[in-house]
Structure 1
Amino acid sequence: MRVTKFEHAALRIDHVGQTIVVDPGMFTTPLDDVQQLVAIVITHEHPDHWTSAHLDRLLRAAPGTPIYAPAGVAAAAEGYEITVVEPGESVTVGEFALRFFGGEHAVIHSSMPLVQNVGVLINEQLYYPGDSYAIPEGVAVDTLAAPIGAPWLKIGEAMDFVLAVAPERAFGTHDMTLSTIGRNMHQQRLQWATEQGGGRYFDLQAGDALDL
């Protein structure tokens, strides 16, 4: 299985000729040349995690591709057929087994309402929490896609999240809100946290891939 990081929160996962796209949002360049797309996963309704332009482009290339997301996305993405998923549910689509965790977006500010958010574990290997610190209880995480920058993110809390998950491997995502200096600094902090559990941290730039 191979995961490719794109700008901000978007991920592409390829396995035995099939592909899943996760969180293609407004800070992500168009995802072209996606072959054998079998699913789209959207962790929550905020536009940095999905846009109609991205969905339209992907669905034109692969009509009928199922979209898995929490109920908040189904309400926001009017006109799209969304398969609603909740924490604790599992889905098998093509060569991919998906398990969902969490339930709520991390708090940005008390003045802003919380929205639903699901973390997704793919083929028991790759875990991505969306905009949350939801820990996949009972799972030995091989590879963690760890958020490193956001209005809701404090780097100490992000470090504690990585320490709690203790993945074998990790890389940073959700990073377009950071300057180059800030991104490098946060990468170093999460590298330290990953190494405390004996894991290895990878500095993936947009377009870089990691074989799992």
Structure 2
Amino acid sequence: MHLTHFGHACVLIDTGAARLLFDPGTFSSGFESLDGLDAILITHQHADHVDAERLTALLRANPDAALVSDGQTAGRLDGIDARVAAPGDRLTLGGADVAVVGSGDHAVIHRDIPLVANNGYLVDGHLLHPGDAYVPPGLDDLATLLLPTGAPWLKVAEAVDYLRAVAPRTVVPIHEQTLATPAMHYRFFDQLRPEGTTLLVPDRETAVDV
């Protein structure tokens, strides 16, 4: 499986049987020229996870790609048809099996800010993109966790505790564009990671094996 990080929450996963792009949002770049996609998956409606303008162009360049999102996000994408999914659903996208996981809710930013829907996506039982929520997938052996690193809703202690709860073989930090110095958080992850977990910080727009 190959992974390419386009900054923040946007990640391309190539399983060899499917090319899946997650969360092409406003804080990410470099994904605009991608083609041959089997699916584009949106975890939730926030702009840093879905840029409707660039999404429209991306879908034009990938006419056979399925667009998958939660129901709230689908309702906000004017003129764009999306396949609605929720936790508990299983999808076949290209040659990949994708389970929709999580509680269905975004993490709490503040009690006065309404919650929005959030989907986590588990690819072939091996790689998890949790969106903006720390809900363990309930697996004994996860190969790769994409770990949200910085956001208004989290602190580094919560990120480390989630990393330890999931205990993947490889952790790849994402959702870092809200931070002035993401490397400081990466250092905490490396120091406090569970035994058996390897930290991998790919160069932007460079494919790596996971």
Normalization by structure 2: what TM-score? 0.94
Matches within 5 A, 1:55-204: 55-102=55-102, 103-138=104-139, 140-180=141-181, 183-194=182-193, 196-204=194-202
Aligned residue number for residue 209 of structure 1: 207
Q: Deviations over 1:23-53 (max 9, x none)?
A: 0000111414423211010000000000112
Report sequence identity in percent.
37
Once residues 60 and 149 of structure 1 are traced to their aligned partners in structure 2, the CA distance between those partners, rounded to angstroms, is: 32
Secondary structure of 2:187's partner? helix
Moved more, 131-140 or 164-173: 131-140
Secondary structure of 1:203's partner? coil
Normalization by structure 1: what TM-score? 0.93
C-alpha change, 1:93 and 1:197, in structure 2 (3 Å) is same
The 8 Å contact of residues 6 and 205 in structure 1, kept in 2 or not, is answered as no
Q: CA deviation at 1:115?
A: 0.4
How many matched pairs?
A: 209
Q: CA deviation at 1:17?
A: 6.3
Structure with the higher strand share, 1 or 2: 1
**Letter in structure 1 aligned against 2:187:** Q
RMSD over equivalenced CA pairs, Å: 1.4
The 8 Å contact of residues 8 and 175 in structure 2, kept in 1 or not, is answered as yes
Task: List gaps (5 residues or longer) in structure 1.
Answer: none
Aligned residue number for residue 50 of structure 1: 50
Once residues 17 and 35 of structure 2 are traced to their aligned partners in structure 1, the CA distance between those partners, rounded to angstroms, is: 8
The 8 Å contact of residues 145 and 172 in structure 1, kept in 2 or not, is answered as yes
Once residues 2 and 14 of structure 2 are traced to their aligned partners in structure 1, the CA distance between those partners, rounded to angstroms, is: 5
The 8 Å contact of residues 17 and 94 in structure 2, kept in 1 or not, is answered as no
